[in-house]
Amino acid sequence: MLPLTIMMTTTLPYRDYNPDTDLQPLLQIFREIGWLPEGNKNSEKAQALYLEAGRSLVADVNGTPECLVSNHDASLRYQNTDLPLCIIGGVATSRVARKQKLASRLTAQAIALDVIERGHTVAALGMFEQGYYDRLGFGTGPYVHFCRFDPTLLDIDVEPRVPIRLTDEDFEQVHQGRLNRLLPHGACSIHHPEVTHADMLTRSNRFALGYADPDTGQLTHHLCGCTGNVHSGPYDIKWLAYRTREEFLELLALLKSLGDQVTSVTIPEPSGVQMQDLIKTPFRRRSISMKGESETGVRAIAFWQLRICDLPAVLGKTHVPTSDAVTFNLSLRDPITKYLDDETKQKWPGVGGEYRVTLGKESHAELVGPDSGLPTLKTSVNTFTRLWLGVQRATGLAFTCPDLDAPESLLTQLDHVLCLPQPCVDWMF
C-alpha cells in the first residue's frame, strides 16, 4: 500500500531525474516492463543516453523513483511552418506503483512544464494502447503503412553507387541527415543528436548505409535498419532520410542490391508515395510468401497521438491553402486539467475555453466567448487536434467522435477549407 500522502495530496511529489542516483533504479523498472532485454549492454547505454538527451521527471515512492516521464524538444512541420513540439518519449511506472495515477499526473505535469517553461505549442507520443492518453487530451494520428516486399521485385532501374557504411559513432552526421530530410506535412524531428545515437544502439544487428556530398562530406541521404536474422532477413528499415526523388530511388536501389541474400525488407511508407507502384507482381509474391517469415504485404497501424497545447499560438501559424476562410465559435474541452497540480493549473490549465476561431490563409483563435451570430463547434482538444492536423475530415470525425457537435453546414465548410495532405510523422517515437 502506498503512503496516504501520495494518494490524497493535490500536489504530485515529483522531481527532476538525477543520472547519478536514478539511472540504476530506472533500469530496474525498464527490465521489469520489458524495455531492456537481459544482457543487452547496448540497450542500457541507449536508455541512459535517451534520458540524458531529454528532460525527465520522476516520482518517488518510499524514497525510490517508481515512475518516470521523459520529454524531448522537437519540431512539428505543419504545411511549411515548424511548430515547437514536445515529444513524450517514455512513460513508465514500476510494478509496485501501478494504478495510483502516477503516470497520468506526471505526464500531465511534464507537458505543462514544457508549455510554461519552453513554449511548446504541441505535444506528441507513441501510444502503448488506445484510450490511455485520451485522458490527457491526445488525438490519434492516421494509419502508418509498413510495407514488406521482396527487394528483388522493386521495379526501379537505378544503379546505386557504392554507399558509406555508418556506425553509431557517426551518429552526429546521421542525425543531421535526418533533420535535413524532406519534411512532409506532420513530420516530427527530435532535436538532440543523442536521440539518434540511442536509436542506433537500441536494436541488435543495427546497420546504416548512406551517401555523402563529395565536396562537403555531409551526409545527403541514408537508411538505418535492423534485423533478427542477418543471414536472410527480414530486414526492418527504421527510417529513410532523403531530400529528393533521386535520393529516394537510390536508397531503394541500394535495398534491391541486397536482394541476393535478403528475402524481404520492411519500410515505413514515405509520405506521398504508394509503394505498390514500385513493386512487381505484389499479389503473386504475397500468395507465395503467405504465413511464412518473409510474408510480404502492408500492415497499417495508427500508433501516434498528438495534442494542441496553445491554441492561439498554433492557429497564429496556421496558413491553410484555401481561397475561403471559415469563422466559428469553438467550445473546447480539455480533459488534462483534472490531472494537473493546483499550482500548475494557475499557470497552464490546459486549452479548454470559449474561443472565436478563423481558419484560412490567416488563422487565429481568441478567448472572447461565444458570438451569437456565428455557428458553434463543440468538441474536445483531442478531436479538434485531429481536425486541425488533417487526420480526418470534419464530416468523417462526426461519424466516429461523439464529442464533436456542430451544424452540418459548418462541418461541410470545414471539410472544404481544411483540405490538407495526410500527416506523416516520419520518425518513430
Binding site for ligand COA (CB under 6 A): 33, 67, 91-93, 98-104, 126-132
CB nearer ligand COA, residue 41 or residue 99: 99
Instruction: Report the nearest approach of ligand COA to the CB of residue 42 (Å).
Output: 20
SS3 of 12, please? coil
- Plot region of 245 (φ>0 → left; ψ -120 to 50 → alpha; else → beta): alpha
Which residues have a Cβ under 8 Å from the Cβ of 117 and sit 6 or more positions away? none
Question: In terms of CB distance, is 28 or 100 closer to ligand COA?
Answer: 100
67, three cell numbers: 515512475
Least separation in angstroms between CB 134 and ligand COA: 7
> Quick check: 190 and 74 in contact, CB under 8 A?
yes
Longest dimension (CA), the chain: 68
Q: Are 198 and 49 in contact (CB under 8 A)?
A: yes
Choice between 93 and 220, CB closer to ligand COA: 93
Dihedral sign computed on CA atoms, order 135, 144, 410, 121: positive
Query: Smallest distance from the beta carbon of 237 to ligand COA, in angstroms?
Result: 23
Distance, CA of 423 to CA of 184 (rounded, Å): 7
Are 122 and 76 contacting, i.e. CB atoms less than 8 angstroms apart? yes
Q: Which residue is nearest to ligand COA (CB)?
A: 131
In this complex, which beta carbon is closest to ligand COA, that of residue 109 or of residue 220? 109
Whose Cβ is closer to ligand COA: residue 93's or residue 289's?
93
Minimum distance from residue 71 beta carbon to ligand COA (Å): 13
User: Closest approach of Cβ 33 to ligand COA, in Å?
Assistant: 4
Taking a C-beta distance cutoff of 8 angstroms, is the pair 343, 11 a contact?
A: yes
Measured from the CB atom, the residue of 131 and 373 that comes closer to ligand COA is 131
Distance, CA of 80 to CA of 318 (rounded, Å): 9
Decide the pairing of beta strands 164-166 and 188-190: unpaired
In the complex with ligand COA, the residue whose CB is nearer, 109 or 363, is: 109
CB of 91 to ligand COA, least distance (A): 4
Minimum CB distance to ligand COA, residue 198 (Å): 16
Full DSSP string of 260-321: TT-S-EEEEPPTT--GGGGBSSHHHHHHHHTTSTT--EEEEE--EEEEES-HHHHHHT----
Pick between residue 306 and residue 365 the one whose CB is nearest to ligand COA.
306
Least separation, in Å, of the C-beta of 377 and ligand COA? 25
